[in-house]
């Protein structure tokens, strides 16, 4: 069972990064997520949102992004990012070779790698013609 659901929908454009981030931060603080974990959530959320802004709607112009904040029965904070853009499972991207020099690395994938490292659990689903990327952060 999900408790205290909140959501915010705005056009998926960089001008809306700040209000979406403020929404996520407020939700996290309202549920007493520790400040050091809020910082990780903010960094991971910025990466997820920037990916949506940059890639979800390349041909159609900006669509919307919805951020949902809920508390699970297990006392985990769940943050879901939903868009109706092109299907793309960010978790299918292979982790980059972090041991390589900058010259040897391929471009891309580092932000997704950081998301996986900063968030307790991350999963992706394509449902009702929407991409849904969900973060789980334990409150304890």
Residue ranges per structural domain of the chain: 2-138
Cite the beta strand spans of 12-128 per DSSP E: 64-72, 76-83, 121-127
Residues sharing a CB contact under 8 Å with residue 69, sequence separation 6 or more, in sequence order: 5, 6, 7, 23, 24, 27, 28, 77, 78, 79
**CATH class of the structural domain 2-138:** alpha beta
pTM for the model: 0.86
CA angle 72, 46, 33 (to 5 degrees): 35
pLDDT at 3: 63
| pLDDT at 1 (0 to 100) | 41
pLDDT tens, position by position, 67-108: 999 988 788 999 999 999 988 887 776 655 555 454 554 555
């Amino acid at each position: 069972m999900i408790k205290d659901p909140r959501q915010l929908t705005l056009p998926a454009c960089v001008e809306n990064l700040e209000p979406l981030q403020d929404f996520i931060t407020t939700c996290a603080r309202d549920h007493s997520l520790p400040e050091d974990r809020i910082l990780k959530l903010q960094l991971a959320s910025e990466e997820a949102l920037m990916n949506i802004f940059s890639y979800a709607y390349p041909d159609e112009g900006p669509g919307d992004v919805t951020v949902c904040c809920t508390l699970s029965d297990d006392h985990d904070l769940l943050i879901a990012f939903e868009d109706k853009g092109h299907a793309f499972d960010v978790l299918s991207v292979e982790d980059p070779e972090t041991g390589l020099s900058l010259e040897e690395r391929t471009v891309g994938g580092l932000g997704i790698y950081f998301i996986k490292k900063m968030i307790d659990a991350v999963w992706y689903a394509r449902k009702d013609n929407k991409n849904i990327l969900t973060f789980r952060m334990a409150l304890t």
